[in-house]
Amino acid sequence: MSLELYDVTIVGGGPAGLFTAFYSGMRDLKTKLIDSGSELGGRMRIYQEKMIWDIGGSRPTLCRDIIDQLIDQANTFEPTIILNSEVTDYEKLVDGNFLITTHDGKQHLSRTVILAIGYGMLSLQKLEIEGADRFEITNLHYTVQELEQFRGKHVLISGGGDSAVDWANELVQIAEQVTVVHRRDEFGGHERNVVNMKNSKANVLTPFTIKSLQSENGEAINEVIIEHTETAEERSIPVDAVIINHGFKYDSGKLEEWGLELDNGCAVVDHKCATSIPGIYGAGDFTTYDSKVRLIAGAFADAVLALNNAKVYITPDAREVAMVSSHNAKFKEKNKELGLDDSEYYG
């Protein structure tokens, strides 16, 4: 059975990958996006309740809404999207096309590849206590999907970085009691936020770690035993919910075996977002270059650069950039669907 040939295969479904998929449609390229997760959005899925302020021209917007908007935009030109599929290998064929293999043995054929995997496959650092995973379906949390679920409750947060500090400052406003446990005396979060947390009604306990989780019914945690890291003193904290913010583990899979030039796990790209392998481009946090901007807005710029140069790689006499959307005939009918007849702009 022959494989369907795509012009562009995007690996990664975060902001860089999603905007690349949209822009690829603007450039009339047959597009496929492959992501290892069960949902699109990448690392943004972790902080869905956070407000995003730093996207140009966009009012402060909840991260989950930005994700939804990016997904809707990515689907504008109906790319093929494949989830739960980890890219593990590739082969550059004699005709110059790329044969891409995923963890399940499936193969994909593409003229170019754009890597937008962020810092790699992202997984949360789980609590290393035997049996803790059984509470993940009740009241042990690694991300915060809805703040309201903690209203009026006794919440224990374990961690000392930005996420732990930020959630503590958010939750003290609605929870009955917030206890923050950190293994060090110093916190790694933004200094001003740490001061705000310490000056709030949150009960901050350092240097302590979680020793055990107690459950009366075997289904939900009702008590956490913490231990002082220096004196071994133990304390019991009654809880309704536990939030673990111990950071993340990143795994670039087998990409390091591809022969890409890497710097601290990131692909080194040039001013065209081209990697050291012709036909493979990078976008977003997976890339590094002089004056790299690690913002969502920066990921969008990378996406445009990578895609435009992939287009020229495929068709050397193609325009170097797409026509802007305000005057791009591809949007003529779509604008009519939105109730705007701007035909005069398209000639």
**Which residues, including other chains, have CB under 8 Å from residue 339's CB and lie 6 or more apart?**
none
Q: What's the mean pLDDT in 2-9? A: 96
Q: What is the largest CA-CA distance in the chain?
A: 78
Residue 345 is predicted with a pLDDT of: 62
More confident residue, 165 or 341: 165
pTM: 0.74
Average pLDDT over residues 76-101: 95
Could you tell me the residue range of the domain that residue 146 belongs to? 127-246
Q: How many domains does the chain have?
A: 2
Same domain, 140 and 234: yes
Last residue of a domain, one of 246, 275, 301: 246
**129-149 average pLDDT score:** 91
59 contacts: CB under 8 Å, gap ≥ 6: none
The tens digit of pLDDT for each residue in 200-217 reads 999 999 999 999 999 999
Starting at the edge strand found earlier in the chain, the sheet holding 177-181 runs: 140-141, 241-244, 154-158, 177-181, 203-205
324-340: string of b/e by CB count within 10 Å (b at 16+)? eeeeeebbeeebeeeee
Lowest mean pLDDT among 54-63, 141-150, 257-266, 292-301: 257-266
Same domain, 115 and 253: yes
In a domain, 298, yes or no: yes
Q: Binding-site residues, please? A: 35, 47, 87, 122, 285, 326
Binding-site positions for FAD read 35, 47, 87, 122, 285, 326
Q: Quote the pLDDT of residue 121.
A: 59
CA distances to 74, 162, 329, 331 from 339, in Å: 21, 44, 16, 12
Q: Tell me: do 147 and 163 sit in the same domain.
A: yes
In a domain, 257, yes or no: yes
Q: DSSP 3-state assignment of 313?
A: helix
The Cα–Cα gap between 151 and 157 comes to: 15
